Structure 1
Amino acid sequence: MDRGPTSTALADLTLDDRALVVGETLVFADCHVGRGPSSDVELPMGDGSDMIARIEALLARHDPETMVVAGDLLHSFRTIPRTVERVVDGVSAAAREAGTRMVVTPGNHDTLLNSVWDGPTEPAHRVGDTVVCHGHEAPDADADRYVVGHDHPTINIEGQRRPCYLAGESVYRGADVVMLPAFNRLLRGVEVNEMRSDDFMSPLITDADAFAPVVVDEDRDETLSFPPLGEFRHRLR
């Protein structure tokens, strides 16, 4: 285990609180506003103050020009509870007050996005040679690196499940892929320890063995980088 990112897919990226910064752009995914913990039904998730506070802190630390929500800002499919509207308003207000442009690249759960968000939406957002999208569909845009969400990866280490980033080099159409953990801390996520390529929902995961988990330990203020899953699975059992 290393004390910092080693994959070239993570070159020039800053990892922080289930988000990352590329250039002058802050990226996070899978807020799933409107979903409660460990539930498959739509539930208001409190007043959303924790999520908004974390976004405000990220904006203060990194002062980005742009903030991209890489899909699944919402969870609701049928209705938008008032609580959800307040949380989305709080997220957009945080960006506005920081002088940051907010962009949403819609995910598969964002079917009612237009009812709560009238700002810019893009199928994919480009930052130099990096393309940010949700990752539930194959992207149309070519890139040297894709940053996606969608699968909510976690890794179980010694009985403790932790959210993780997954970094793969030259794994999709010759490009690197970085998968973000879910920004919503109420979501359990999927445990990648034994997952194979077909177990992932994102079509950008074509070779799960090539993806290296990265855990940001906020309590110890350190980043833990692991070998690719194909080299490391036997140590995770």
Structure 2
Amino acid sequence: MDAAFADRAIHLPESDALVLADLHLGRGASANVELPLSESDVPSRLAELCERFSPTEVVLAGDVLHSFDRLPDGVRETFHHVERTVEQAGARLIVTPGNHDTLLDAVWDGPTADEHRVGKTVVCHGHALPDTAAERYVVGHDHPAIRIEGQRRPCYLVGRSAAVAAEVVVLPSFTKLAPGVVVNQLGALDSPLVTDLDEFRPVVRDEDADETLEFPPLGTFRELL
């Protein structure tokens, strides 16, 4: 497909857009642990992606924030660092809200749309069916992961959806604090865009080797895992 995968994000060269989903800023502070978990790597990883792809747009596909009712300490600062990172890369930041983003206007006053078109692709969070027709949809929401030989890895899912009659790409969560939903034994995801999980093929990144591993659709691949 005409896309590049890297560090839980996707670059769409046709429109020169970098898309990532599910930052869930504040999740570390909301975790049930004595000390907050760090999410300070988010801006630096985004900077590396911007340096690699030099996008003209960076699109956040929803669930920028984690908490529904409060902003934990440090969330504003982390998000503003994200903004500065995109600005310094010479790109435009676009946000498509997710179901967690009830407090988004407390940190972001820039362009916001439930669905954002980039060429033939529409980016949205994926918790609801989109209104805009497209040849491909890039979404987040479900945090897919896959267990291979006992090891859990974040993964992308790529397949055709009967719900929208188009290709759908589900991104893993950009935050590393989300463990991910293991798709090996699942029959469905929460997103209404993923109508038949067996038709979706996992894509796994080996960042150390800078290699993208594409597997057969889950319906034919499960028995091999």
TM-score by length of 2: 0.94
* Structure 1 residue 223, shift from structure 2 partner: 1.0
Asked if the contact 1:171/1:210 (under 8 Å) is kept, the reply is no
Q: Does residue 1:30 correspond to 2:22, yes or no?
A: yes
Cα-Cα RMSD:
1.7
The within-5 A match list for 1:41-56 is: 45-46=37-38, 48-56=39-47
Asked if the contact 1:164/1:215 (under 8 Å) is kept, the reply is yes
The residue aligned with 1:15 is 5
Residues 80 and 141 of structure 1: CA distance in aligned 2, closer, same or farther (over 3 Å):
same
Distance 2:199 2:30 in 1: 29
Distance 1:114 1:37 in 2: 20
Distance 1:227 1:59 in 2: 30
The residue aligned with 1:77 is 68
Instruction: Look up the equivalent residue of 1:28 and give its one-letter code.
Output: L
1:135-165 deviations in Å (ceiling 9; x for gaps): 0011010111000000000000000000000
The residue aligned with 2:119 is 128
Distance 1:12 1:169 in 2: 15
Asked if the contact 1:44/1:81 (under 8 Å) is kept, the reply is no
SS of 1:57 mapped into structure 2: helix
The residue aligned with 2:134 is 143
Q: Which runs of 5+ in 2 are unaligned?
A: none
* Structure 1 residue 129, shift from structure 2 partner: 1.1
The residue aligned with 1:4 is none
SS of 1:82 mapped into structure 2: coil
Q: Which runs of 5+ in 1 are unaligned?
A: 1-10
The within-5 A match list for 1:94-173 is: 94-173=85-164
The residue aligned with 1:3 is none
Query: How many residues are aligned here?
Result: 222
Asked if the contact 1:135/1:149 (under 8 Å) is kept, the reply is yes
Asked if the contact 1:168/1:178 (under 8 Å) is kept, the reply is yes
* Structure 1 residue 76, shift from structure 2 partner: 1.3
1:150-209 deviations in Å (ceiling 9; x for gaps): 000000000000000000035433200000000001110100001112xx1100010111
Instruction: Look up the equivalent residue of 1:217 and give its one-letter code.
Output: D
Query: Identity rate of aligned residues, in percent?
Result: 56
Residues 36 and 49 of structure 1: CA distance in aligned 2, closer, same or farther (over 3 Å):
closer
* Structure 1 residue 44, shift from structure 2 partner: 5.3
TM-score by length of 1: 0.90
